[in-house]
Structure 1
């Protein structure tokens, strides 16, 4: 097994650019687009770019996380694996939920004109009815850390399957699956069950069953090199399919679809756009961006703690910048540049603090030669 730098690059870039994605939402007046500060202006271009990213960014991360869970178990005992999951997932989740998320919802309450003190708001954060878990009523919300919580729960739930998959007992099945799915574009079949899972209505777009399915698929991908080779071979087909479906998606997104067939067809395309673009990205990165560098090493280590802290920084900066009498484009670039600057600055401070850094997912690991796992992937 060789280290998959393409997976490192893809995972890192998606996590880092999540700052752009959340900054776009500041200028989206759709109430279903949750952000804890909102400008008064609705920018259609930002909405469309954010809509594209929203389709596949989290699905891709869950696929990659499934791949790296399998790699992680190749070199760790069960005890070491669970210990790493607790330290890198559960601990940052608790830290963010207790220390960071109440600050974000406090900015939301101030933006709505509420006059309660931060102490009152902080108490209410843990005592109010959670409602829709979005925090917009001042109650508890996991906010962006729902991704971290899901990964932790899925790591525990799927452990029996992961262990069976890496055992000799599954070798025949693994080989049969790899032979079948290596055929051109046959991996599309794995996207079909994913679409139907959403008929079970749980937490809307954050359906935990759907994301757990992606973890399992990612883990299967890691069992045989033929899966990645198939994605590499068919990458342009998946990219063309993605572009075609995005054209249909935006054409019918805001139109009035009256027929039952039309409604279900649109929903099917909407869910396919979570997986097919992920296939294209994995294939493209495997083909063209698969080299190590000092820049990758730094970003790969930094991106996870930055993911944990970025939302509160973005919210604080956005809360002040939207008050400026500037065009939305200038506001956006100020928010993004300032957010990146403060995120990396705070990360540098955290990584120099041995004990505080651990609370935000910064793990100090001994240098290993000829490593075969992706140490920094969650």
Structure 2
């Protein structure tokens, strides 16, 4: 096994960071000029800086998560076998989705209804919802997986592991893993282009309960490569010296991508394909940035986060709960902030940090030593004996 036990620390720490960054990412969207017409808690105070940072994070944050998830899946298969891995994933991924999805939906709808009836400076989306509520004949929105969509797709992807082990794909795996790392870095993004071509770009979160083919061709490939990466770390070994260079290349590619984005996303153009030349540029830039930044984050994490740290160990355990619980909390806080004075950075800081405090406190008091904590991370006794990250998302 090329991924030694020492190296698992950086994977564990990186997974925690990616999930916790999601809290600040969603909190920032309220202050995005581009998303003002379509985000539930959009504020009248905003900044173009939010668009730059949030859009850049959006390109690679979840692809990186699925690489790490695929790596963990391979670790479980190596330790326990495919059958035990599927059972473990059903308990840690599918069951939490089934349990928490209706609770999260109720927790999102309740403060939204309060805002519709009590907030003076309503965002455009809530004004639209308010008008729809006044029309009894208005069509109902289809159910959404909201921010839990990643659990929904992980359930499919873990079954994909069983399929990969049954299918005669050994030659494909050997071909990809035996490529020179520089060649692999150029080839792997090309594999993402068919999937991205099926999506509206910049790609939205695939929140529909109807599985989206493009999401399998994009996020699914990151998951598969993370699964195969477990058996060969050559790519990371080679680029360990070039992590910051990959970040710089990604930033350069992001500049034309950002200027190709629509100036404002509306309910009318949110799911409309841009013209082909513009769309092709966006697809290519997204494919390469998502791969370059995923590799960069992995190699930089191995340099900077490759040690066992008590605080990061605790935050890794808490991060799963924090991500599940955060969106209703941040939206409720931001609805209240809509009528309060203050600039965008003040409101972003209050909403994100207060959300983190509430989620961490609830984890400490209600989750860590409760059946909810056992469901998400296993019983505390078993956590002390297990290999790092072996049973986590």
Q: TM-score, normalised by structure 2?
A: 0.80
Which of 250, 253, 277 is the aligned partner of 1:245?
253
CA contact (8 A) 1:317 1:335 kept: yes
Aligned residue in 2 for 1:377: 392
Aligned residue in 2 for 1:217: 225
Which of 157, 160, 166 is the aligned partner of 2:160?
157
Q: Deviations over 1:90-137 (max 9, x none)?
A: 12212221112222133334434499xxxxx9xxxxxx99x8xxxxx6
Which of 164, 177, 184 is the aligned partner of 1:186?
184
Which of 8, 11, 16 is the aligned partner of 1:12?
16
How far off its partner does 1:164 sit?
6.8
Which of 333, 353, 363 is the aligned partner of 2:378?
363
Give 1:308-347 correspondences, 5 Å limit: 308-347=324-363
In 1: Cα distance, 2:143 partner to 2:181 partner: 47
Q: Deviations over 1:265-321 (max 9, x none)?
A: 233213322222111111211223211111121111111111111111112222212
In 1: Cα distance, 2:246 partner to 2:275 partner: 28
Root mean square deviation of aligned Cα = 3.2
CA contact (8 A) 1:109 1:138 kept: no
Give 1:1-378 correspondences, 5 Å limit: 1=1, 2-3=4-5, 4-31=8-35, 35-113=39-117, 140-162=143-165, 170=170, 174-180=173-179, 182-201=180-199, 204-205=203-204, 206=206, 207-209=214-216, 210-254=218-262, 260-358=276-374, 361-364=376-379, 366-367=382-383, 374-378=389-393
Q: 1:353 to 1:11 in 2, by over 3 A?
A: closer
Q: Which runs of 5+ in 1 are unaligned?
A: 116-120, 122-127, 132-136
Q: 1:47 to 1:236 in 2, by over 3 A?
A: closer
How far off its partner does 1:358 sit?
4.2
How far off its partner does 1:342 sit?
0.2
Q: TM-score, normalised by structure 1?
A: 0.82
Q: Deviations over 1:4-26 (max 9, x none)?
A: 22212221111111111011111
In 2: Cα distance, 1:202 partner to 1:266 partner: 10
Q: 1:263 to 1:352 in 2, by over 3 A?
A: closer
Secondary structure in 2 aligned to 1:26?
A: helix
Q: 1:139 to 1:177 in 2, by over 3 A?
A: closer
